[in-house]
Chain A
Amino acid sequence: MASAQLPSPIAHWFSRRGWAPRSHQLDMLEKARADEHALLIAPTGGGKTLGGFLPSLVELHETLGQGATNPRRKHALHTLYISPLKALSVDVARNLIQPVEEMGLGLRIETRTGDTSASKRQRQRAHPPDILLTTPEQLALFCATANAQSFLGDLKRIIIDEIHALAPQKRGDLLSLGMAALSRWAPNAQRVGLSATVADEQGLARWLVPQDEAETSSFASIVRGDAGARPDVEILDPDERIPWAGHSGRHALGDVYQRIRQARMTLVFVNTRSQAEATFQDLWHMNADNLPIALHHGSLAPEQRRKVEAAMARGALKAVVCTSTLDLGIDWGDVDLVIQMGAPKGSSRLMQRLGRANHRLDDPSRALLAPTNRFEHLECEAARDAVAANALDGEPLAAGALDVLAQHVMGRACGEPVDQDALFEEICRAAPYAEMDRETFDRIFEFSATGGYALQTYDRFRRMVRGKDGLWRARTPQIAQRHRMNVGTIVEAPMLDVVVSSRGRGGRRLGQIEEWFVEQLVPGDTFLFAGQVLKFQGIEEMAARVTRSSDPEPKIPSYQGGKFPLSTYLAERVRDMVQDPVRWGHLPEQVQEWLRIQQEKSELPRADGLLVETFPRNAKFYLVCYPFEGRLAHQTLGMLLTRRLERMRMRPMGFVANEYALSVWGLRDMSGLDLNALFAEDMMGDDLDAWLAESDLMKRTFRNCAVIAGLIERRFPGQEKTGRQVTFSTDLIYNVLREHEPDHVLMKAAWNDAASGLLDIRRLGKALERVQGRIRHVGLDRISPLAVPVMLEIGKEPVYGEAQESILEDASQDLIAEALA
């Protein structure tokens, strides 16, 4: 019997439930005994969490035995569990503490997050728990505190949950650097990674473990759980007409409602908060049966969210409309159906969401995809194929961000004094920084100390100083304290509380909303939030005051939040599907017909090329192309194409992009252009630099880097400085730095971010390379079927170009008109 490996209290616990430990759980035990780092890949519901903790429980029991309950035993932190979500560590505490109590192991398990009180923090330092559940930011704080070694020195195991979500982000960089520091203090601590969906297994296995100075990479051992039953994915083929564009999904809601009625409990996933609000509202309007349906998204007040979660756990709800806030592994209730409204944008995200249904491994999870427009049918079909083939995509692991390194360097100097050479060796053991060259590191180091400017005038204001012992430390305790207040890599857009009251003062906080959204509201405007139509009354202090409105429809249609780009991987599958009529069989007849007419009137885009259509319309000339590379890459392409068209004297006027196409228009006919020259890759050079330097996106990116790197401080509640003023002054700083030291390391950091993030430059570059010499031009006398969706975006999406200056000109023209009247 395999359970023989387990100490009796744990073995008994399993057998009392009539369970046997799963083989991957025992494998994890074996890896731990062999002292190996391990990456556990197991589907949700497969006992992954217990698999991660089991070696710690066994080891703690073996060392402490019955002495565990002795209040006077020496306390030492044994296991550090790190997850991306605050809520997740609370949830795991619940799912772990109960079994551990039932096993009678007498262990202390505690959480530590940004919400943990100062007194509890102090107590944890004096009497560490056996297992501490926390977040990457808290680890960064430990690193930036004196005596980190005495607290963390006994550590035996580090568990990183949802590792696939953390590793590709800046938070992952910070975590990786924090783990490198842990390796110094507790060199023998084993590392364990947990994930349900992993695309790049080797990449994560490398990410997880310390890298040696040698040229070769080190990897964690991979342990796999049983795959579980194949999910059962259906794509909704609605009776109603499928819209050409838009993301409301209204046409499908009748069917969605019926499915909700039939299921035990349904999670309805949507991609944006505005979509969540709108879908929730529409479902309520058709809710003739008064089904208990709730709403859950990241902007709602935590109390509101906790209420919904509790109701789910009790089984009191029939459905929850939610965003990515419920993506990750919180197990709230007996969900038997997942509905995805709109395309999932990536197969990994879809898999993750499918995992929310049916946490029992052996039954297939059931999912319904409800595309919101015709193109999304293609995307959903591609995603279903990918899931069937168990083919995952994911954000690629990139080199570690420089701004995060700057924060970490300063943090280390705020903790125990550090040696510069030793710190370089230490950070090179973190996988994202393994290839870092010494020169860049030294520049970052100097940045943390003095700002690292060519004009060395700040030497006397250093933030870090080198002592007689050769070690670096924060110059003053105040500097260290200020650094600790600014730890973390999440830079929030300025937010305002939404407070509802019937009249005057007081009222209840519904959640938070982006300041820029509120700024465009005029008192009396109505909008959707927290599942209700609210009337904006004005702003007081840091809160948007609202009252409930009886209007059925909001006046201000939506606010956006969190749009995912189509993953490269799914895009490829979609391109393949579109070019090949044989593969259209699964698509609804309406969609097939749309593609057939496209084939007839124009051409189908080929997977290995680029289709470009030109046509006149309403005294303007349009050029529409179909790269299928996602909105971000298309916007960048649009920006670059219009610059080039400008130089060709084609008088371009604007462009709009959607997930698969880009439409540019102007005053001259573009059908005679040399398209290979127009789409030539060299547009990624000077044009890109010139445009980027001026763009708001770059300024925003710079601001984030400046905050993370510690150049600019975050704002805190009660501080006079508003988020708006921070934005403003970083723009000024960016302008000055660009003018006087364009090669500064922070400019480099911002450029790197922009290239991979907001602008998707890397992806665009690959696309241009792919289509070189394979551009097909079709000259039309009218719009093609495939062009309709992107053309419908005109007027809904902002048109890019010299929009800012023209706002001023328009406003000024109005004044002149008024003066002349």
Chain B
Amino acid sequence: MIRQLEKSADQLSFELAGHRLFAHRSGALFVPEFDALIVSDLHFEKGSAYARSGQMLPPYDTRETLRRLGEVVEQIDPACVIALGDSFHDLDAAGRMSVEDRGGLKALVNARERWIWIEGNHDPEPPEDLGGEIHHELRLGNLVLRHEPEAGAARGEICGHLHPCAKVRGKGRAVRRFAFATNGDRLIMPAFGAYTGGLNVCDDAIVAVFGEVPSVMVLGREQVHAISPRQLVPDRYRTRTR
């Protein structure tokens, strides 16, 4: 379970597989031991992918994602940034980026000591001309970083892919927000991209990873809130045997 060690305005500290981690309200995760900042599911150029099929979403998602990413990178100033897969919405996403956004991304990548692209299902071959290294997965101490959760994975897995979000029941209404999902052994990161939707942590796909509804750290406007599974509701009730 999440043990709340200390609370700052922007991030919530917790332990996973013996490492101390910080969940940032932007949706990024900081690992101080390795001076590494992890972000997942950036989905660059999702907007233009929809435009191609006739839905003209505002073409600013890449720029907005870059802006938010730039902000948290500047604030934390880590040596290393790790993008945990599905950084690009599809294989030619990088080709559709505007010259300006491309330049902005390159500058961001090159300003770090290390930048690592983990392969995702949307971007099995991340572009090589933007700088950074490409890995399928990565180990940091007890932590294993990969895009998709693996069945029966050992303690310490950090992944993305599922875009967890939590619906928190309040008095008479509920709030639905992006969230980190964890059971203390494994962690699923929220999606960072500006247009990426969320999947409720009560959904089968996420419950299957943990064997139960996980605890969550919900991204609030000002801070990250640790919330227990008892407070969560699914998007839709399913009939369960009681």
Contact = CB atoms under 8 A, between A and B. Distances in A.
A228 B152 CA distance: 80
A737 B240 CA distance: 41
Contacts of A757: none
Nearest to B67: A739
B60 A805 contact: no
Contacts of B54: 461, 463, 478-479, 482
A811 B223 CA distance: 13
Contacts of B240: 523, 538
Contacts of B63: 740
A737 to B, nearest CB: 5
Could you say which of B56, B228, B235 has the most chain A C-beta atoms within 10 Å of its C-beta? Answer: B56
A451 B195 contact: no
Contact of B227 (A538, A728, A732, A815): A815
Contacts of B122: none
A696 to B, nearest CB: 10
Contacts of A447: 56
Nearest to B215: A815
A808 B235 contact: no
Contact of B237 (A521, A728, A736): A521
Contacts of A736: 58, 60-61, 64, 194-195
Interface in B129-173: 168-173
A373 to B, nearest CB: 22
Consensus secondary structure, chain B interface: loop
A803 B221 CA distance: 12
Contacts of B225: 808-809, 811-812
B102 interface: no
Interface stretch (B26-34, B103-111, B174-182, B205-213): B174-182
A458 B56 contact: yes
Contact of B226 (A711, A741, A812): A812
B218 interface: yes
A806 B225 CA distance: 11
B218 A808 contact: yes
Contact of B194 (A450, A515, A732, A805): A732
B236 to A, nearest CB: 5
Contacts of A733: 57-58, 195
Contact of A457 (B64, B98, B172, B194): B98
B168 A808 contact: yes
A564 interface: no
Contacts of A741: 58, 60
Contacts of B64: 736, 739-740
A521 B233 CA distance: 10
B238 A808 contact: no
A744 B57 CA distance: 12
A211 B225 CA distance: 58
A741 B63 CA distance: 12
Nearest to B232: A811
A214 interface: no
A803 B175 CA distance: 10
A545 interface: yes
Could you say which of A447, A461, A522 has the most chain B C-beta atoms within 10 Å of its C-beta? Answer: A461
B220 interface: yes
Interface in B48-68: 48, 51-52, 54-61, 63-64
Contacts of B197: 725, 728-729, 732
Is the interface on chain B under 10, 10 to 19, 20 to 34, or 35 or more residues?
Answer: 35 or more
A590 interface: no
A812 to B, nearest CB: 4
B8 interface: no
A740 B58 contact: yes
Interface in A582-634: none
A538 B98 contact: no
A122 interface: no
Given A519-B174, A538-B238, A739-B64, A808 B227 contact: yes
Contacts of B177: 808
A814 interface: yes
Nearest to A521: B237
A2 interface: no
B104 to A, nearest CB: 14
B128 interface: no
Q: 7 tightest A-B contacts by CB?
A: A451-B56, A807-B170, A538-B239, A812-B225, A740-B60, A811-B231, A461-B51
Given A520-B172, A539-B237, 10 more contacts: A463-B54, A728-B176, A736-B58, A736-B60, A736-B61, A737-B58, A740-B64, A807-B174, A808-B225, A812-B227
Interface of A: 447, 450-453, 455, 457-458, 461, 463, 478-479, 482, 515, 518-523, 537-540, 545, 711-713, 722, 724-725, 728-729, 732-733, 735-737, 739-741, 744, 798, 803-812, 814-816, 818-819
Interface of B: 3-4, 48, 51-52, 54-61, 63-64, 96, 98, 168-177, 194-198, 218, 220-222, 225-228, 231, 233, 235-240, 242
21 contacts: A453-B60, A457-B48, A519-B174, A537-B239, A539-B239, A540-B238, A540-B239, A711-B57, A724-B235, A729-B197, A736-B195, A739-B64, A740-B58, A740-B63, A804-B175, A807-B169, A808-B220, A811-B170, A812-B227, A814-B228, A819-B3
